[in-house]
Each structure stands twice: as C-alpha cells, then as structure tokens.
Amino acid sequence: MKQQIGQRALTSLISLLGLVVLVFFLSRLTGDPAALFLPVDASEEMRQNFRALHGLNDPIVVQFGNYMADLARGDFGESLRRARPALDIVLEAFVWTLQLALITMSLVAVAAIFVGSVAAFTVGSKFDRFASLLSLVGASAPDFWVAILAIVLFSLQLGWLPTSGTGTIWHWIMPVAVLFIRPFGLILQVVRGSMLSALGSPYVKTARAKGVKSKSIIFVHTLRNGMLPVITVMGDQAAALLNGAVVVESIFGFPGVGKLMIDAILQRDFNVILAAIMVTALAIFIMNLLIDLSYALLDPRIRK
C-alpha cells in the first residue's frame, strides 16, 4: 500500500509539473497585461517600464526559469491587479469553494446512498422507477442551464432567493442545489447498480434465509461490499466540484476559486492563474490519495 501511495505521489508531482509548464506558456498567449493595466494613452516608455517592473520584457523561457526558481522557494509571485501575494488571494477564494464542495458532496452522499440502496432493494417498484428517472434527469441536466433557470424562477419571478453573494444561508441554497443535481444523478445510478450486484450474492441469500431484517441486509451486509465503485465515482465528482464549479460560481457571483480563475484570465493576472491551478490540482491529488486509503479500509485484500 505504501508503494502504491508513493507511486501515486510521484505521478501526481509529474502531472502537476506538466500542468504548470502548459498553463505558464498558454497564459502568456492571452495578451500583454500592460494593455489592460495602463491607460489607453500611455506612452511606450510607460509600457516598457511596466513590463520591466514585472519581468515581462525578458524572453519567455527566461521568465519561466525565474518563475520556477521562485516557486522552488515557495514564492508564487504577486498579483498584478491587487499587488498582493497570489497564493494568499487564491487560498482566500479556495476556502469558499471548499466549503461549497463539502456541503454539496455531504448532501449528495447521504441522499444518493439512501435512495440508491432503497431503490435496489425494491427493484421494479414505483420507487425504483422514480429513482431511475431522478438519476437520469440529474445526470443529464447542464449546470449552466439549471443555474439560469433557478435565478429566473426563484429570484426574478418568485423573489424567494437572492441572485448572488454569500451573506446569509439563503445565498447558498441555489449554488448548492445546482451543484447537487448532477453528482446526485450519477452516484445514484452507481449505488443502485452496485447494490443490486451485492444483493444477489450468496451471503445475502444466506442472511435472508436466517431471517435477518431488511434494514440490516441493506445497510450492514451489502452497503460496505458495494461501496468501492461508489467511492470512486464520489471522488471523481468531488474533484469535478473543486475543478469545475467555474460556471456556477460565475453565474451566482460566488467568490470561489473558479470565479477567481475566470477573472484572472480576463485580467491577464498570470501569477494568480498559476497559483489557482496549482492549489486546485494539489487538492485533487490529496482527494485521490484519500480515496486510495479508503479502499484499503473497506477491502482488506487491497492492504495486502
């Protein structure tokens, strides 16, 4: 198990390095920051001084070497727009995204596991058909369309919920609800299929023959054995929330790392872009590592 964790850490480090290289050079293709941060009538001398101050006059290979040297010392650079350390800005925004992802995935896990387990145990019933319909709709619904529809209905027409911000619990309802729908649909499908497979196992038939209660069969005997594929999908969906909540955060004006990344790209704030990418990638790596460890806890064969 330790060897697998070490291999995962090494491959993740290589992937992170490749991502940094790719994003560094691609971000430079978005244009000259001096054109955004200086007045339209700024002289060429002012533009040259701005570029020299931020090291943008050097060849791009030299810029990359300087950035990697600073990164090796733990320096992520300074935001061009806010004149603050880029890492501090990203971590402030990442806390919001992390809270949003944790709340959403907690609700998704409880709801999908419960509904999927009951649907599998009552396969063919009205509840099972309704759960299958829910999963299909949830997995197919595009986030941006649901978000816009929610704003039009609950904010503009009914006036029940605010359109943006984070001031009260009411501000969180629509972002959480929109992000809830897709992972709920996908995980529900996996839970139902995995539980159906487990319920057909010989040990379940033996438990039923002994008169074990249905609740114990579902939540004690079969749930643990059917959780490995569920954990895999939950991990993928949690990573997608961290990495892919960009559209939802932008629509609802949520101050998370997704919205920060979009703003940084539009503002050509290179250091913030890179810091946001690295923090998000590191969080996904840690999450994948936790999933590997959870496999070992659930299945002793993996530990060996």
Give phi and psi for 221, each to the nearest 5: -80, -45
And the tokens for 170? 């009411």
Please report the pLDDT score of residue 226 as a whole number.
67
Please report the pLDDT score of residue 100 as a whole number.
87
> What value does the mean pLDDT take over residues 131-146?
84
Confidence class for position 107, pLDDT limits 50, 70, 90: very high
Q: Contact at 8 Å (CB) between 303 and 292?
A: no
- The 3 state secondary structure assigned to 176-221 is HHHHHHHHHHHHHHHHHHHHHHHHCCHHHHHHHHCCCCHHHHHHHH
Residue 27 to residue 273: CA distance in whole angstroms: 8
Q: Contact at 8 Å (CB) between 17 and 301?
A: no
Please report the pLDDT score of residue 283 as a whole number.
83
Confidence class for position 68, pLDDT limits 50, 70, 90: confident
Q: Which of the residue ranges 37-46, 47-56, 148-157, 245-254 has the most confident prediction, judged by mean pLDDT? A: 148-157
Mean per-residue pLDDT of the chain = 79
With vertex at residue 175, the alpha carbon angle to CA 170 and CA 180, rounded to the nearest 5 degrees, is 120
Euclidean distance between the first and the last CA atom of the chain, given in angstroms as a whole number = 7
Please report the pLDDT score of residue 73 as a whole number.
83
> What value does the mean pLDDT take over residues 91-120?
87
Please indicate whether residue 165 or residue 116 has the higher confidence score (pLDDT). 116
- Between 27-31, 61-65, 175-179, 265-269, the lowest mean confidence (pLDDT) is in 27-31
pLDDT in tens, 5-61: 667 677 777 888 888 888 888 877 777 777 767 776 667 777 777 777 777 777 888
Please report the pLDDT score of residue 86 as a whole number.
85
> What value does the mean pLDDT take over residues 183-206?
78
- Between 10-14, 129-133, 202-206, 266-270, the lowest mean confidence (pLDDT) is in 202-206
Q: How many CA atoms lie within 13 A of 97 on its CB side?
A: 30
- Between 52-61, 75-84, 262-271, the lowest mean confidence (pLDDT) is in 52-61
Please report the pLDDT score of residue 207 as a whole number.
63
Please report the pLDDT score of residue 72 as a whole number.
83
Question: Is pLDDT of 304 > 60?
Answer: no
Sign (positive/negative) of CA torsion 35, 254, 277, 237?
A: negative
Question: Is pLDDT of 211 > 70?
Answer: no
User: Which residues are within 8 A (CB) of 31 and not within 5 positions of it... i.e. 6 or more apart?
Assistant: 268
Please report the pLDDT score of residue 202 as a whole number.
67
And the tokens for 19? 């991502």
Please report the pLDDT score of residue 209 as a whole number.
66
Q: Which domains does the chain have, with CATH numbers?
A: 2-72 (no CATH), 86-303 (1.10.3720.10)
Confidence class for position 298, pLDDT limits 50, 70, 90: low
Please indicate whether residue 296 or residue 109 has the higher confidence score (pLDDT). 109
Give the distance, in angstroms, between the CA of residue 15 and the centroid of all CA atoms in the same chain.
17
